[in-house]
């Protein structure tokens, strides 16, 4: 067996997420990033590729897709780490060239683009993964098993929040590249905060509970003067099976770093998980003392055990969770190459399309005075 060969589009100098993708893809020594079209600026693309010691650098993703598809030692999959508006054309070019794709979230800048990409994926026969990273944490997978096993009882209430403060000031007008594209409707789409982090919160709810969010009642706000897209949102949720929930996401919450938290309440127990304390799952059984489940412990289920890399007591965090998405995806790349069926045990194209339906529903609801909108 050889290492898989990966390519990357976007993620060049000045980007945050490109390096994260690379670390995650290479963490388990299953792959190496060998090629890239890392910027639309040829000089910046070349300098970024040299900094990463890539074997091959391209001035455009179109050229990269065409050339890599011809090579005997071409890439096995590509990483799409561009602004949202480029996800469809970039992913589409590689899928149509017969190359598997890992794409950053949200899936696209609009629902129409997301659905078009879904059609391309279906017609290509290639694998597609979407990096909803937080589903890769061991204790998130333990929480999913806890719910699925019936230990929670009948799901009644969900509370999820994702709060940051990094957009408290108009950084998009101060030369911050990440703020510039996320607050630009032409590149980000119809939402900033909901599309960027609200989709993570919504995916976490559906991943852990196994229930789809059916409708939202949302209020989106732009608190920073002159900002074109939302930087804060508050929502009520209706889930399959009758459960109700709340979803709060904000990028202007003063003092918050990356506060992604979820609480579930059932007829038998409650559970909660906090991304900034990721090794702990709090379990609150009815009429009994609270319990703390910990990453790496021998009493955890198979999914949580498989997602952990270090002995109990050693912190595992964002990079390891990100790498779990890649590990599951790359195992499927090997299965498909061997003529076997893919397991697809990672977020994929349908998760992405549902995420864009959620964003559109939230924006529509807010625009209609926080009315209920079906997803």
User: Is 326 part of a structural domain of the chain?
Assistant: no
Q: 360, 374, 371, 327: which is closest to 131 by C-alpha?
A: 327
Check residue 206 and give its pLDDT.
98
Q: 188, 178, 165, 170: which is closest to 11 by C-alpha?
A: 178
DSSP state of 196: I
Domain encompassing residue 26: 4-126
Count: domains in the chain = 2
Check residue 279 and give its pLDDT.
97
C-alpha span between 72 and 112 (Å, rounded):
35
Same domain? 96 vs 22: yes
Check residue 144 and give its pLDDT.
98
- The domain that holds 64 is classified in CATH as 3.40.50.720
Check residue 312 and give its pLDDT.
94
- Which tokens in the block code for residue 258? 């990356």
C-alpha span between 105 and 152 (Å, rounded):
30
Same domain? 105 vs 209: no
Three-state DSSP at 216 gives strand
Q: pTM for the full model?
A: 0.96
User: Is 316 part of a structural domain of the chain?
Assistant: no
Check residue 230 and give its pLDDT.
98
- On whether the CB atoms of residues 355 and 206 are closer than 8 A, the answer is no
From first to last of its 375 residues, the chain has per-residue pLDDT tens of 899 999 999 999 888 899 999 999 999 999 999 999 999 999 999 999 999 999 999 999 999 999 999 999 999 999 999 999 999 999 999 999 999 999 999 999 999 999 999 999 999 999 999 999 999 999 999 999 999 999 999 999 999 999 999 999 999 999 999 999 999 999 999 999 999 999 999 999 999 999 999 999 999 999 999 999 999 999 999 999 999 999 999 999 999 999 999 999 999 999 999 999 999 999 999 999 999 999 999 999 999 999 999 999 999 999 999 999 999 999 999 999 999 999 999 999 999 999 999 999 999 999 999 999 999
Check residue 97 and give its pLDDT.
98
- The domain that holds 300 is classified in CATH as 3.30.360.10
Q: For strands 100-103 and 77-81, give the pairing.
A: parallel
Same domain? 62 vs 159: no
Q: Looking at 95, 126, 157, which one is the last position of a domain?
A: 126
For residue 102, the cross-strand partners are 79, 129
Check residue 1 and give its pLDDT.
83
User: Is 342 part of a structural domain of the chain?
Assistant: no
DSSP string, 324-363: HHHHHHHHHHHHHHTTPPP---S--HHHHHHHHHHHHHHH
Same domain? 100 vs 180: no
Check residue 16 and give its pLDDT.
87
Using CA atoms, how far residue 158 sits from 268, 298, 327, 361, in Å, is: 14, 28, 29, 19
C-alpha span between 128 and 118 (Å, rounded):
10
């Amino acid at each position: 067996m050889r290492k898989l060969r990966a390519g990357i589009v976007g993620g060049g100098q000045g980007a945050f997420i490109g390096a994260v993708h690379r670390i995650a893809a290479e963490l388990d020594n299953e792959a190496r990033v060998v090629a890239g079209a890392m910027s639309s600026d040829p000089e910046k693309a070349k300098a970024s590729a040299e900094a990463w010691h890539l074997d091959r650098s391209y001035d455009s993703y179109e050229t990269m897709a065409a050339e890599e598809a011809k090579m005997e030692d071409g890439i096995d999959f590509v990483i799409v780490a561009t602004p949202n508006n480029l996800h469809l054309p970039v992913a589409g070019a590689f899928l149509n060239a017969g190359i598997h794709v890992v794409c950053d979230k949200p899936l696209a800048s609009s629902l129409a683009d997301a659905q078009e990409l879904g059609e391309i994926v279906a017609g290509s026969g290639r694998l597609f993964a979407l990096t909803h990273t937080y589903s890769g944490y061991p204790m998130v997978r333990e929480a999913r098993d806890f719910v699925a096993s019936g230990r929670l009882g009948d799901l009644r209430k969900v509370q999820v929040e994702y709060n940051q403060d990094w957009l408290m000031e108009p950084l998009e007008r101060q030369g911050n590249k990440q703020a510039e594209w996320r607050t630009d409707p032409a590149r980000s789409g119809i939402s900033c905060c909901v599309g960027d982090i609200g989709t993570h919160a919504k995916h976490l709810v559906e991943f852990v509970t196994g229930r789809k969010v059916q409708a939202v009642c949302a209020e989106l706000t732009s608190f920073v003067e002159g900002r074109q897209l939302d930087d804060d949102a508050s929502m009520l949720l209706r889930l399959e099976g009758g459960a109700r929930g709340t979803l709060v996401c904000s990028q202007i919450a003063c003092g918050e770093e990356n506060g992604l938290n979820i609480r579930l309440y059932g007829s038998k127990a409650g559970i909660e998980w906090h991304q900034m304390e990721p090794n702990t799952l709090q379990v609150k059984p009815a009429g009994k003392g609270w319990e703390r489940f910990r990453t790496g412990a021998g009493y955890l289920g198979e999914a949580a055990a498989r997602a952990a890399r270090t002995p109990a007591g050693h912190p595992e965090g964002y990079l390891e969770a990100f790498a779990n998405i890649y590990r599951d995806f790359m195992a499927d790349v090997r299965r498909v190459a061997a003529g076997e069926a893919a397991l697809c045990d990672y977020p994929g194209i349908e998760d992405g399309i549902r995420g864009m339906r959620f964003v559109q529903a939230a924006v529509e609801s807010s625009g209609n005075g926080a009315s209920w909108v079906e997803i």
